Structure 1
Amino acid sequence: MNKESCLLRVKNLAVSFAETDILSGVSFTLEKGKTLAIVGESGSGKSLTALSILQLLPYPHAHHPEGDIIFQGQSLMGQSEAVLEAVRGNKISMIFQEPMTSLNPLHSIEKQIAETLLLHKGLTGRKARERTLELLVLVGIDDPASRLTAYPHQLSGGQRQRIMIAMALANEPDLLIADEPTTALDATTQKQILLLLKSLQKRLNMGILMITHDLNIVQQFADDVLVMCKGQQIEYAATPQVFANPAEEYTKKLLDATPKGEMEPLDEHKVILEADNISVSFPLKKSFWGKTTQALDAVKNVSLKVHAGETLAIVGESGSGKSTLAQALLQLTKHSGKVVYLGKEINNQHKADLQLMRQNLQIVFQDPYASLSPRMSVYDIVAEGIHVFNQQLKLNEQQIEQEVKRVLMTVGLDESVCNRYPHQFSGGQRQRIAIARALILKPKLIVLDEPTSALDRSIQKQIIELLKSLQKAFGLSYLFISHDLSVVKSISHRVLVLKSGEIIEQGTTSDIFTKANNSYTQQLLLSSIL
């Protein structure tokens, strides 16, 4: 590699927090126009490496005992804020893993994208709006003009991720660091975004450092692969070599971690949850008198049944209404239509009665960092449900502690995490905490909203097997929302396909995957094979 083509060189990078060594011995190079993928389990140091490049760690508590980071021939280690600010968001941009926590909840989408255009390009007014609209079109946002005034909470997870990508690409950077850039995206949008990044990379001769747990994406889009484990570099080679002939056992384990198998057909069981003609509408504009003049129909006349011990998967593109439907079923958002739980209509329940029902109806949200209180320890987060329902459960503090430790162990976390806080964990570890919080009340039905989207493949496989074993042992029912069709195929008994808030097809998992009738479903299945 000649000096002119070398965009980024990381030499023997180490990271310590106070006196604790977290990362060491990481070395790699990235050429202009090339893509390097960093893979490894949650907590392996992937994001820590990326944040070090932009010098975004909590210095001076964090420090680099050794190593260097050289970008376009200049070392970034220890540079002044003025130098780093000229690089961040301009020459080097980053797509962060969790868009809901990276976007400002108080600012509109237009203001957030325009901010980076003003800072680095000096664009204001009409020119800034035109560029913002151009970026929204570029990343596939429907009706972009109407989204300019929207706030992050008004968008789906996939739409928020696309906004993050638009912000990162705003100034056409030389290096794009993409930390799980397609985590929240459905298969078709995922493919569109990856092809978009590839085309922009070719046009701008941009280097891409991609952090991902999706090895299918790595195989299709990365030139080189760096494998990490527990803060150490395990393997570093060209992508074809890593996939065809991995040198390390750990790499082989990662490659073999794709969810496999299918659920056996389920005999008819009693209906746990039934929904009839559920519709959800969100007001977009109101008159002076407060009357809605323009609305978004997010869910339209959806009816479904979930049986005891069954997993019903809901799939569809980002913004199709999957999460909104789930929240309506749990009475977490206003809706029309009827929801019946174990023969009892829950739409018109008194608040106290509905509260009691929620012990048996739990949810794991898509974004664990946003759904876990940053002010509560892991112990308090997981134990909270028991404290809420302890009038019925009647457990003493010692019994509660035993239950918390048991459920943490069940999801693969050691009891030593009890006194730590959400920000001290990786994305995958936070998701396991969220799953533990839902499991501790031993519910009859759990809504799983993208429960494995933040997890690497090996942990994802463990969580899927865990969910299957819990279902078998306790007869649990799952409403499983996911864009990962390999996961859907391995865990679900039936599949319901949503598009623009409407059911377009439903059936057994086997039928949907082998003989789908609808062209949209067929396109989803094709897009999942990149």
Structure 2
Amino acid sequence: MSEQSCLLKVDNLAVSFADQNILSGVSFSLEQGKTLAIVGESGSGKSLTALSILQLLPYPHAHHPSGDIIFEGESLMAKSDAVLEAVRGNKISMIFQEPMTSLNPLHSIEKQIEETLLLHKGLTGKKAQLRTLELLELVGIDNPASRLKAYPHELSGGQRQRVMIAMALANEPNLLIADEPTTALDATIQKQILTLLRSLQQRLNMAILLITHDLNIVQQFSDHVLVMCKGQQVEYQATQALFDSPDHQYTKKLLNAVPTGKMASLVDPKVILEAENMNVSFPVKKNFWGKTTKSLDVVKNVSLKIHEAETLALVGESGSGKSTLAQALLYLNKHTGQVVYLGQSINTLAKDDLQALRQELQIVFQDPYASLSPRMSVQDIIAEGVHVFNTDRALSDQDINEQVSQVLIKVGLDESAANRYPHQFSGGQRQRIAIARALILKPKLIVLDEPTSALDRSIQKQIIELLKALQKEFSLSYLFISHDLSVVKAVSHRVLVMKAGEIVEQGFTSAIFENAQHPYTQELLSSTIL
């Protein structure tokens, strides 16, 4: 690569916090119009490298013992705030991993996009609004004029990510840093976002630094790959060369971590939960007296069965009603329809009986960091449910502590983890804690709502193997909600495909993947890089 074609050069970069070295020996270069993917497990230093480029680390607590970052021929290291502010959001932009936390919940979409236009271009009023509309149209937001006054919570995950891309592209940067831009998105939306980024890259001749844990995306969309492990660069190759002939053992481990296999058929399984004609509606408009005059039907006449020791996968795009249906099955929202658990209608249960039943019906949420209280120790988090249901004081505190220790070991964590807090664990470890919290109550059915979507492939594989082992040992039933069809293929016995609140196709996993009948299912499968 010639010096003239090199847009960004990182040379022997190191990062330390106080006296502890976190990152070292990172070197790479990136040409205009090309894509470099940085891959590795959580904690490997991917995002730390990206934040160093923009000099967004908490200086002076953080510092660089060695290395240089050269952008357009000039070093960015130790530059003044004025120089860096002229680069950030202007020449170098960044799309952060979680748009819901990156976007300001108190400001409209219009205001947030116009802020960067004002800062770097001085645009205000009508000119700023026209440019905002142009950007929203560019990233594929339907009817952008109607979205200007919308707030982040009023948009779907895919729409929020498109808004983040619009903000990042507002000033047509030369370099776009995309930190896990598609992690929590459905297969169809993920494909749309990646196709969008590629088309915008070609149109603007923009370089992209792509941080991701999805190696399928890396293989499809990058020119070069940098592999990181525990703060060290372990491999740096052209994409195809790396996939054809990886050099480092860690790279080989990552490539072998793609979910594989299929679930064995169940013999004469017992129905554990059955739902008939489930409907969920949310009010969207009320009159002066508070009476609902307009409703949005989110779940429409859904019926399903879940068998003992079975994994039933529920797939579909964001907004299709998957999580809403799961919450209705657990009586966590208002609905109509009947739910029968082990032959008993839940609809007729008194409040106290329903509360007691919750011990057997548990849920593990998508984001373990958000679902685990940061103010509670792991011991208190896992034991909380036991204390709730230990109304007759049959278990002493020592008994409960022993159960916590046992369940921690069961999910692959050390007993000493009980005395620590969620922020002291990686994403995969936090998800194991969330599984332990559900498992300690000895449930018969666990709803798994996107339990692996935010995890690296290698960690994802560990969690999947853990769930399979627990299912086999305890005959657990799972309702597995996911947008990752490669995971669904590996873990589920049957699949329900949901679109706009309705089940459009269902069947055994092998039949769905080999011979999908509904056009929507076919579209989902064609959008997935399996």
- Normalising by structure 2, what TM-score? 0.92
Match of 2:512 in 1: 512
SS of 1:391 mapped into structure 2: coil
Does residue 1:315 correspond to 2:315, yes or no?
Answer: yes
SS of 2:13 mapped into structure 1: strand
Aligned 1:258-277 pairs, distance under 5 A: 258-277=258-277
Does residue 1:301 correspond to 2:331, yes or no?
Answer: no
Does residue 1:486 correspond to 2:486, yes or no?
Answer: yes
Structure 1: which amino acid aligns with 2:276?
Answer: D
For 1:472-517, what per-residue CA distance to the aligned partner results, in whole angstroms no more than 9, with x for missing partners? 1101111111111111011001101011111111111111111111
Aligned 1:344-493 pairs, distance under 5 A: 344-347=344-347, 349-391=349-391, 394-493=394-493
SS of 2:209 mapped into structure 1: strand
Q: Contact 2:364/2:434 (CA < 8 Å) preserved in 1?
A: yes
Q: After superposing the two structures, state which structure 1 stretch, 508-517 or 269-278, moved more.
A: 269-278
CA distance in 2, matches of 1:228, 1:187: 26
CA distance in 2, matches of 1:512, 1:368: 30
Q: Contact 2:35/2:222 (CA < 8 Å) preserved in 1?
A: yes
Q: Contact 2:135/2:170 (CA < 8 Å) preserved in 1?
A: yes
Q: Contact 2:39/2:46 (CA < 8 Å) preserved in 1?
A: yes
For 1:184-203, what per-residue CA distance to the aligned partner results, in whole angstroms no more than 9, with x for missing partners? 11112111111110111111
How many residues end up aligned between the 2 structures?
530
Match of 2:62 in 1: 62
Match of 2:201 in 1: 201
Aligned 1:134-153 pairs, distance under 5 A: 134-142=134-142, 144-153=144-153
Structure 1 residue 415, shift from structure 2 partner: 4.3
Structure 2: which amino acid aligns with 1:218?
Answer: V
Runs of at least 5 residues in structure 2 that lack an aligned partner in the other structure: none
CA distance in 2, matches of 1:268, 1:147: 51
Q: After superposing the two structures, state which structure 1 stretch, 277-286 or 115-124, moved more.
A: 115-124
CA distance in 1, matches of 2:243, 2:79: 38
Structure 1 residue 299, shift from structure 2 partner: 1.8
Q: Contact 2:278/2:302 (CA < 8 Å) preserved in 1?
A: yes
Structure 1 residue 444, shift from structure 2 partner: 1.3
Q: After superposing the two structures, state which structure 1 stretch, 171-180 or 223-232, moved more.
A: 171-180
Structure 1 residue runs of 4+, over 6 Å off? none
SS of 1:332 mapped into structure 2: coil
Structure 1 residue 354, shift from structure 2 partner: 2.7
**Cα–Cα, structure 1 residues 502 and 120, in superposed 2: closer, same or farther, change >3 Å?**
farther
For 1:84-134, what per-residue CA distance to the aligned partner results, in whole angstroms no more than 9, with x for missing partners? 333333322222223333233333444433433343334444544444444
**Cα–Cα, structure 1 residues 270 and 295, in superposed 2: closer, same or farther, change >3 Å?**
same
SS of 1:363 mapped into structure 2: strand
Structure 1: which amino acid aligns with 2:486?
Answer: S
Q: After superposing the two structures, state which structure 1 stretch, 494-503 or 326-335, moved more.
A: 326-335
Q: Contact 2:235/2:247 (CA < 8 Å) preserved in 1?
A: yes
Match of 2:278 in 1: 278
For 1:139-184, what per-residue CA distance to the aligned partner results, in whole angstroms no more than 9, with x for missing partners? 4445555544444444444444343333333333222211211111
Aligned 1:19-98 pairs, distance under 5 A: 19-98=19-98
Match of 2:525 in 1: 525
Structure 1: which amino acid aligns with 2:430?
Answer: R
CA distance in 1, matches of 2:170, 2:347: 45
Match of 1:335 in 2: 335
Structure 1 residue 71, shift from structure 2 partner: 2.2
Structure 1: which amino acid aligns with 2:489?
Answer: K
**Cα–Cα, structure 1 residues 365 and 128, in superposed 2: closer, same or farther, change >3 Å?**
farther
For 1:362-402, what per-residue CA distance to the aligned partner results, in whole angstroms no more than 9, with x for missing partners? 21222333322233333333333233333367443444334
CA distance in 2, matches of 1:10, 1:524: 39
Q: Contact 1:182/1:190 (CA < 8 Å) preserved in 2?
A: yes
**Cα–Cα, structure 1 residues 92 and 394, in superposed 2: closer, same or farther, change >3 Å?**
farther
Structure 1 residue 346, shift from structure 2 partner: 3.0
SS of 1:401 mapped into structure 2: helix
Q: Contact 1:100/1:370 (CA < 8 Å) preserved in 2?
A: no
CA distance in 1, matches of 2:152, 2:425: 24
CA distance in 2, matches of 1:152, 1:435: 30
Structure 2: which amino acid aligns with 1:201?
Answer: Q
Structure 2: which amino acid aligns with 1:173?
Answer: P
Task: Kindly name which structure, 1 or 2, has the bigger radius of gyration based on alpha carbons.
Answer: 2
Structure 2: which amino acid aligns with 1:229?
Answer: C
**Cα–Cα, structure 1 residues 30 and 126, in superposed 2: closer, same or farther, change >3 Å?**
same
Structure 2: which amino acid aligns with 1:307?
Answer: H
Q: After superposing the two structures, state which structure 1 stretch, 186-195 or 155-164, moved more.
A: 155-164
What is the CA RMSD across the aligned residues, in angstroms? 2.5
**Cα–Cα, structure 1 residues 237 and 133, in superposed 2: closer, same or farther, change >3 Å?**
same
Match of 2:176 in 1: 176
Match of 2:240 in 1: 240
Q: Contact 1:36/1:225 (CA < 8 Å) preserved in 2?
A: yes
**Cα–Cα, structure 1 residues 350 and 137, in superposed 2: closer, same or farther, change >3 Å?**
farther
Structure 1 residue 20, shift from structure 2 partner: 2.2
Q: After superposing the two structures, state which structure 1 stretch, 164-173 or 362-371, moved more.
A: 164-173
Does residue 1:213 correspond to 2:213, yes or no?
Answer: yes
Structure 2: which amino acid aligns with 1:300?
Answer: K
Q: After superposing the two structures, state which structure 1 stretch, 360-369 or 388-397, moved more.
A: 388-397
CA distance in 1, matches of 2:247, 2:326: 44
**Cα–Cα, structure 1 residues 492 and 436, in superposed 2: closer, same or farther, change >3 Å?**
same
SS of 1:217 mapped into structure 2: helix
Structure 2: which amino acid aligns with 1:120?
Answer: H
CA distance in 1, matches of 2:471, 2:393: 22
CA distance in 2, matches of 1:246, 1:406: 39
Q: After superposing the two structures, state which structure 1 stretch, 282-291 or 477-486, moved more.
A: 282-291
Q: After superposing the two structures, state which structure 1 stretch, 34-43 or 409-418, moved more.
A: 409-418
**Cα–Cα, structure 1 residues 169 and 297, in superposed 2: closer, same or farther, change >3 Å?**
farther
Structure 2: which amino acid aligns with 1:258?
Answer: V
Match of 2:249 in 1: 249
**Cα–Cα, structure 1 residues 166 and 103, in superposed 2: closer, same or farther, change >3 Å?**
same
Structure 1 residue 245, shift from structure 2 partner: 0.7
Q: Contact 2:217/2:529 (CA < 8 Å) preserved in 1?
A: no
Match of 2:231 in 1: 231
CA distance in 2, matches of 1:499, 1:301: 12
Structure 2: which amino acid aligns with 1:12?
Answer: N
Q: After superposing the two structures, state which structure 1 stretch, 235-244 or 16-25, moved more.
A: 16-25
CA distance in 2, matches of 1:420, 1:57: 26
CA distance in 1, matches of 2:147, 2:328: 23
